[in-house]
């Protein structure tokens, strides 16, 4: 980062240059404003500190030309003839700051340091947005880490391959996003992408959801229903949380994968299927098979190609890029101005452990877009100093803590109510009642 120092008085110029260089700044000192302009551009990494009253071109004329080249280059105006009217004009015309001569060294250094921090933030935001635009951020796998580059290459290689795929990754790593990328990148993109969360379907209806049924097949089956498998014909069926599928349905799914035919419930006619199956799991299916909790033959049928998804803690260099994407989207949804990305905030985000992976990062971006701090601390988590506030009623404090605990559990479990209830040690009905009380919706925590 560079400080471009402009003053027609060589002595003042040299004094200011020495002050800034002693503080470690890189300084380019010139007496000719016109010559300074050729150094500037949209990617120029620096700030301009210029005298106002100079022959040929004054500081305000220079400010206008700098802003024409790049409106986000900070320009600090310095003058020995300042007054309130001139200061107001400087702010109105877009100057970053206004300093009166003789400039106090400490004040000059502080203003320049803040201006350089601001410029660095502008350039970083531009870099992140350029990367997002280059990669087609919407619905794409975002990141520049080696792990994500390998994942993108694998997806590109498999998109047109006529093989079923098993995705393996922790909750919140973006398994559905990868499944959609496989679908959209291949020849089946014109067909339907049909997603089914095996862990969110009650056992009583999951078979009907998968295979469909004929009228009268069971009590309440008044009309014909096309199942997910049939609806995905010529497209892709995404089976999330495949480990949660009941054992008796695993047998039927194995037959579908082997023979590519189905029978609706209550029908005798087989229906041929041309579809691709992408399954996803967060657990070791082979271990489950050894424990008798998953069919080993189905595991080997699904395990033609396994694609591991890296957790966010193993791709920390992608955190800023992903956060920029989620923040822009969250601000657009809430119709708010995108808040600036503070370097200290980015450092905290990079150092965070991210147990909830990309979904947790997205939730943090939502809170930041709403102006709720840096998004990492739970809202209302701060405790006032003694004597500074009324003591909140115990019931209200417990209510707030309970809501935060349920939100965290839902995020970690991807919105799966059954698993969340089990981890919290309460019944599903109790969890539903508490979610209704706190205004929580499971869809807000489901994986992309």
pLDDT category, 259, cuts 50, 70, 90? very high
Residue 380 has pLDDT above 60, yes or no: no
Measured CA to CA, the distance from residue 201 to residue 251 in angstroms comes to 17
Tell me: domain 146-310, CATH 3.40.50.300, correct?
A: yes
Q: What is the mean pLDDT of residues 234-242?
A: 94
Q: In the structure encoding, which two tokens stand for residue 379, read together?
A: 């809202």
Domain boundaries, the chain: 2-133, 146-310, 312-377, 385-448
305-308 and 236-240 strand pairing: unpaired
pLDDT category, 399, cuts 50, 70, 90? confident
Measured CA to CA, the distance from residue 366 to residue 81 in angstroms comes to 47
Q: What share of the chain is helix, strand, coil (3-state, %, to 5)?
A: 50, 10, 40
Who's near 425: CB < 8 A, 6+ residues apart?
A: none
Residue 440 has pLDDT above 80, yes or no: yes
Who's near 167: CB < 8 A, 6+ residues apart?
A: 175, 178, 179, 278, 279, 280, 281, 306, 307, 309
For 239-274, the DSSP string reads: EETGGGS-HHHHHHHHHHHHH-EE--BT----EE--
Highest mean pLDDT among 33-42, 240-249, 392-401: 240-249
CATH code at 385-448? 1.10.10.60
Q: In the structure encoding, which two tokens stand for residue 232, read together?
A: 């995905």
pLDDT in tens, 114-157: 899 888 878 877 776 676 665 543 347 888 889 998 998 999 89
pLDDT in tens, 194-213: 999 988 888 778 888 888 88
Contact 158, 165 (CB under 8 A): yes
Measured CA to CA, the distance from residue 221 to residue 215 in angstroms comes to 5
- Looking at residue 131, what is its pLDDT? 62
Contact 362, 414 (CB under 8 A): no
What one-character DSSP code corresponds to residue 173?
Answer: S
Percent of the chain with pLDDT over 90: 33
- Looking at residue 37, what is its pLDDT? 83
Q: Which has more pLDDT, 80 or 108?
A: 108
Who's near 116: CB < 8 A, 6+ residues apart?
A: 1, 3, 25, 46, 47, 74
Q: Give the H/E segment covering residue 307.
A: strand 305-308
Q: What is the mean pLDDT of residues 319-345?
A: 82
pLDDT in tens, 273-286: 999 999 999 999 99
- Looking at residue 391, what is its pLDDT? 56
- Looking at residue 120, what is its pLDDT? 81
- Looking at residue 347, what is its pLDDT? 77
Q: What is the mean pLDDT of residues 30-53?
A: 85
Contact 222, 188 (CB under 8 A): no
Mapped onto helix, strand or coil, the DSSP state of residue 310 is: coil
pLDDT category, 386, cuts 50, 70, 90? very low
Mean pLDDT estimate for the chain: 84
Gyration radius (Cα) of the chain, Å: 30
Residue 344 has pLDDT above 60, yes or no: yes
Measured CA to CA, the distance from residue 194 to residue 188 in angstroms comes to 12
Q: In the structure encoding, which two tokens stand for residue 276, read together?
A: 């691709």
Measured CA to CA, the distance from residue 206 to residue 197 in angstroms comes to 10
Residue 427 has pLDDT above 90, yes or no: no
Residue 322 has pLDDT above 70, yes or no: yes
Measured CA to CA, the distance from residue 30 to residue 46 in angstroms comes to 15
- Looking at residue 236, what is its pLDDT? 95
- Looking at residue 320, what is its pLDDT? 85
Q: In the structure encoding, which two tokens stand for residue 30, read together?
A: 């010139």
Selected from 3.40.50.620, 3.30.540.10, 3.40.1360.10, 1.10.8.60, the CATH number assigned to the domain covering 312-377 reads 1.10.8.60
- Looking at residue 82, what is its pLDDT? 67
Measured CA to CA, the distance from residue 319 to residue 358 in angstroms comes to 9
In the chain, how many H helices and how many E strands? 18, 12
CATH architecture of 2-133: 3-Layer(aba) Sandwich (3.40)
Residue 392 has pLDDT above 80, yes or no: no
Angle at 181 between CA 177 and CA 186, to 5 degrees: 160
Residue 324 has pLDDT above 90, yes or no: no
Mapped onto helix, strand or coil, the DSSP state of residue 26 is: strand
- Looking at residue 421, what is its pLDDT? 85
Angle at 178 between CA 174 and CA 179, to 5 degrees: 115
Q: Do domains 146-310 and 385-448 have the same CATH topology?
A: no
- Looking at residue 205, what is its pLDDT? 82
Residue 183 has pLDDT above 70, yes or no: yes
């Amino acid at each position: 980062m560079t400080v471009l120092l402009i003053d027609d008085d060589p002595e003042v110029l040299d004094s200011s240059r020495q002050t800034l260089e002693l503080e470690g700044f890189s300084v380019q000192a010139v007496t000719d404003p016109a010559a300074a302009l050729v150094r500037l551009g949209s990617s120029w990494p620096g700030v301009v500190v210029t005298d106002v009253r100079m022959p040929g071109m004054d500081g305000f004329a220079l400010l206008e030309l700098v802003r024409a080249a790049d409106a986000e280059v900070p320009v600090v105006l310095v003058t020995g003839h300042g007054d309130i009217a001139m200061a107001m004009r400087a702010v109105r015309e877009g100057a970053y700051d206004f300093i009166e001569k003789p400039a106090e060294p400490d004040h000059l250094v502080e203003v320049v340091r803040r201006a350089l921090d601001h410029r660095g933030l502008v350039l970083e935001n531009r870099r992140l947005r350029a990367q997002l635009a280059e990669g087609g951020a919407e619905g794409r796998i975002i990141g520049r880490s080696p792990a994500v580059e390998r994942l993108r290459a694998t997806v590109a290689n498999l998109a047109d391959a006529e093989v079923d795929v098993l995705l393996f990754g922790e909750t919140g790593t973006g398994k559905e996003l990868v499944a959609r990328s496989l679908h959209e990148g291949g020849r089946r993109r014109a067909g339907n992408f049909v997603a089914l969360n095996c862990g969110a379907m009650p056992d009583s209806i999951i078979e009907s959801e998968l295979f469909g049924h004929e009228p009268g097949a069971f009590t309440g089956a008044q009309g014909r229903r096309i199942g997910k498998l049939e609806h995905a014909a010529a497209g892709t069926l995404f089976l999330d949380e495949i480990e949660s599928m009941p054992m008796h349905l695993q047998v039927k799914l194995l037959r579908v994968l082997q023979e590519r035919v189905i029978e609706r419930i209550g029908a005798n006619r087989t229906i041929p299927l041309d579809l691709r199956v992408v399954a996803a799991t967060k657990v070791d299916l082979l271990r489950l098979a050894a424990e008798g909790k998953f069919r080993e033959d189905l595991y080997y049928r699904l395990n033609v190609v396994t694609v591991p998804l890296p957790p966010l803690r193993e791709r920390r260099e992608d955190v800023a890029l992903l956060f920029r994407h989620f923040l822009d989207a969250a601000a657009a949804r809430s119709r708010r101005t995108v808040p600036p990305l503070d370097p200290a905030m980015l450092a905290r985000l990079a150092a965070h452990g991210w147990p909830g992976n990309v979904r947790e990062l997205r939730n943090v971006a939502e809170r930041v877009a709403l102006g709720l701090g840096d998004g990492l601390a739970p809202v209302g988590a701060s405790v006032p100093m003694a004597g500074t506030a009324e003591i909140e009623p115990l019931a209200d404090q417990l209510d707030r803590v309970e809501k935060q605990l349920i939100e965290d559990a839902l995020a970690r479990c991807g919105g799966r109510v059954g698993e969340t209830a089990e981890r919290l040690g309460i019944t599903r009905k109790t969890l539903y009642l508490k979610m209704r009380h706190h205004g929580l919706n499971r869809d807000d925590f489901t994986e992309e």
